[in-house]
Amino acid sequence: FRGGAELLFDGVKKHQVTLPCQPEPWDIRNLLKWIKQNMLKERPELFIQGESVRPGILVLINEADWELMGELDYKLQDQDNVLFISTLHGG
């Protein structure tokens, strides 16, 4: 998490997570739900809006724009790196 987004996660920028096995595929959509339930300490509306991230938050998968990868539908693979960068100015 960067650009200020880390402030929502105890200021910790890098998180190594192991997602539990489940029948539903792990895509970004489900990852976001998981983050909301398990990682967001406060004010989820600053990070998540509806199913997706709040406008102004960029999502990169393995250092590439998620728009190239199918956005919410992208299926996560082992060792994937997901980066959220906030471009918002405070609040």
Give contact residues for other proteins (rule: CB under 8 A): 2-4, 6-7, 54-56, 58, 60, 63-65, 67-73, 83, 85, 87-91
Q: Distance between CA atoms of 80 and 78, rounded to whole angstroms?
A: 6
| Residues 6 or more apart in contact with residue 87 via CB below 8 angstroms | 3, 56, 57, 58
Nearer to other proteins, 24 or 63 (CB): 63
Please identify, using beta-carbon distances, which residue of 3 and 44 lies nearer to other proteins: 3
Q: Are 13 and 1 in contact (CB under 8 A)?
A: yes
- Looking at the Cβ atoms of 22 and 89, the one nearer to other proteins is 89
